[in-house]
Structure 1
Amino acid sequence: MDQLLAMRVFHTLVEARSFSGAAEVLGMSHSSVSRQLKQTEAALGVALVHRSTRHFALTSAGERYHRHCIDILARIDAMTHAMTDEREDLSGPLRLTVPLAIGTLELPAWLPAFRLRYPGIALTLSCSDRYVDLLAEGFDMALRISSAALADSSLMAKLLTASETVLVASPTYLTQFGLPRVPDDLATHQRLVFAGASTPREWAITGPDGHTQRVPLDGAFTTDAITALFAASLAGTGIAAFTERTVRAELARGTLVRVLPQYSLGRSHYYALYPHTRHVNSRVRAFIDFMAEHYRQP
């Protein structure tokens, strides 16, 4: 007896709740489905279904066998998809939505290497700090940066990395206005404010002693675009907060300098989000694995 066929027939029979329904789904005759069930019951030595002209019900043995069928068939299907993906040429469209920080400021650090590794993937990148409904707007996946735990949703989330939030300013600004030594000094400085949808209007700054001080953000410049905040910082107009990942290149070049480096503003987490399906699109998986590898690099 073909056990895999037996499990698929039985699983379809249970889902269809009738022999005729299962026969239609499987493209088999009613008698073939019935014969397959009888052979399965004979091989197992138990009755799986209570037979009646009006009702369809599983025996206790049938319920247990069905649970095993679901598990085994899911594993086989996952293995088949995985082996198919290994043969696939990773090509075709991939639609992403990412925060402006990743899609513009961090883009030179990851896009060239991704294009080199996967030249067949046609990448469409939407850069926005607003919340995007992946399913409603037709995106394959999203990257998001969050300082808090993600809300429960129907999406799968993979943590890619975490990054410390840092205060920075340009050397020109610090030469003109001086270097803050303690959080109280920020009151006399120009504070550049990012007004994102879920961004608090204060900086919670924790010192080496564990004491947290809150600095209100009532600066002379406020923007809802991280790219504008970045440009204002480079232009020497004040002090701003970014994830260290976002300004890493500028800190290395010296075009931005950390302010109050002995203090902590917490950490933000970078997530990859994608629809919850049994089989993840191979291009989605390739991008997630690539970004996880990218963020592991020092």
Structure 2
Amino acid sequence: MNQMLAMRVFRCIVESRSFSAAAERLDTTHSSVSRHLQQLESSLGVRLINRNTRNMSLSAAGERYYTACVDILDRVDAASRAVLLEQERPSGRLRVSLPLVVGTLEMAHWLPAFQQRYPDIQVDLSCSDSFVNLVADGFDVAIRICDALPDSSLVARLLMTSPMVMVASSAYVYNYGLPGTVAELDEHQLLSFASTTQWSLTSESGESVAVVTSNHFHTDTITALHACALAGGGIAPFTLSTVQDDLRSGRLVRILSNYTLGKRHYYVLYPHVRNLSAKVRAFIDFMADHYRSEQQPNLG
């Protein structure tokens, strides 16, 4: 027995005041309505409606059950309407996991526009460079930057591929000069992220060369690396997307612009591809449009 359907049939019988009228409202037959009621009464072990050939009336149990049915069915219908409305207009709390660099140095490029476009979405951001468990930790969606994604059951969509470039502040270049060759990097302060001890540089012609950084500066946070570079502490690697504003303003300048340190891929990850909520779909599509527009920044 479909209990929810049987409850709806019972409610319709009561409010229509007859089996025939209920059958007409439900676009079914008199026998089908009667069968649903009999199954419901059998499962409950009580008579809900007293009926004979001329009259019908609710039993005491039927009155109590009718009141409960109205409350339950109205709540279910209200929940369904809310979901349908959300699908039409994205809304609700959206939990997003971001790498630290996106949540600090890149967020100004997209968050205000997203909030303006979707004012009914409440964004809850968590910034961490660790690969969180989206399902276990209650996240709707995540963005990650990496060479390649580890195997997982998550759905992944590539947003952008950005080259890693070397930069330094104008003050640093003024004080220590601009290296003209890879070999001259040995004479400069090299700022590295995490435990990196070697940079692998690739020229425009495809030539690869390794640069040892173990005797220089290291930090485990991208914001500290960025702050140190801005302060004139040395030469640091970032994705081009991360430092685009600094390059445009002149706060940072490219070092050996004919070399890169490989590329980083920006991915958006989410647990489900079917029945994706409107708020998650809105975020994914928005970020895809945003990073598509940044794919080819015109920076030297």
TM-score by length of 1: 0.69
Given the alignment of the two structures, is residue 296 of structure 1 paired with residue 292 of structure 2, yes or no? yes
Taking the aligned partners of 2:4 and 2:290, their CA distance within structure 1 comes to: 45
Taking the aligned partners of 1:254 and 1:235, their CA distance within structure 2 comes to: 13
- SS for the counterpart of 1:276 is coil
Q: Could you tell me how far 1:219 is from its partner in structure 2?
A: 4.2
**Alignment-derived partner of residue 194 in structure 1:** 193
Once the two structures are superposed, residues 42-88 of structure 1 have per-residue CA deviations (whole angstroms, 9 ceiling, x without a partner) of xxxxxxxxxxxxxxxxxxxxxxxxxxxxxxxxxxxxxxxxx957852
Once the two structures are superposed, residues 242-296 of structure 1 have per-residue CA deviations (whole angstroms, 9 ceiling, x without a partner) of 0000000000000000000011221111000000342112111100111111112
**Alignment-derived partner of residue 101 in structure 1:** 101
Following superposition of structure 1 onto structure 2, how do residues 138-177 of structure 1 map, counting pairs within 5 Å? 138-147=138-147, 149-177=148-176
Taking the aligned partners of 1:85 and 1:241, their CA distance within structure 2 comes to: 45
Taking the aligned partners of 2:215 and 2:166, their CA distance within structure 1 comes to: 14
Deviates more, 1:208-217 or 1:265-274: 208-217
Given the alignment of the two structures, is residue 252 of structure 1 paired with residue 248 of structure 2, yes or no? yes
Highest Rg: 1 or 2?
2
Taking the aligned partners of 2:92 and 2:204, their CA distance within structure 1 comes to: 50
- SS for the counterpart of 2:275 is coil
Number of residue pairs matched by the alignment: 222
Change (3 A) 1:103 1:115: same
- SS for the counterpart of 1:279 is coil
Gaps of 5+ in 1: 1-22, 33-82
**Alignment-derived partner of residue 5 in structure 1:** none
- SS for the counterpart of 1:258 is strand
Taking the aligned partners of 2:3 and 2:240, their CA distance within structure 1 comes to: 55
Paired AA for residue 267 in structure 2: Y
Paired AA for residue 231 in structure 2: A
Given the alignment of the two structures, is residue 91 of structure 1 paired with residue 87 of structure 2, yes or no? no
Change (3 A) 1:213 1:25: farther
**Alignment-derived partner of residue 135 in structure 1:** 135
Q: Could you tell me how far 1:26 is from its partner in structure 2?
A: 9.0
| Alignment match of 2:231 (pick from 205, 214, 235) | 235
Change (3 A) 1:295 1:220: same
- SS for the counterpart of 2:259 is coil
Paired AA for residue 232 in structure 2: G
Gaps of 5+ in 2: 7-31, 33-82, 295-300
| Alignment match of 2:269 (pick from 250, 258, 273) | 273
| Runs of 4+ in structure 1 over 3 Å off | 23-28, 83-87
Once the two structures are superposed, residues 140-186 of structure 1 have per-residue CA deviations (whole angstroms, 9 ceiling, x without a partner) of 11000012x21221100001111110000001001111111111111
Counterpart contact for 2:87–2:277, Cα < 8 Å: no
Change (3 A) 1:234 1:155: same
Identical positions, percent: 51
**Alignment-derived partner of residue 117 in structure 2:** 117
Given the alignment of the two structures, is residue 261 of structure 1 paired with residue 257 of structure 2, yes or no? yes
TM-score by length of 2: 0.69
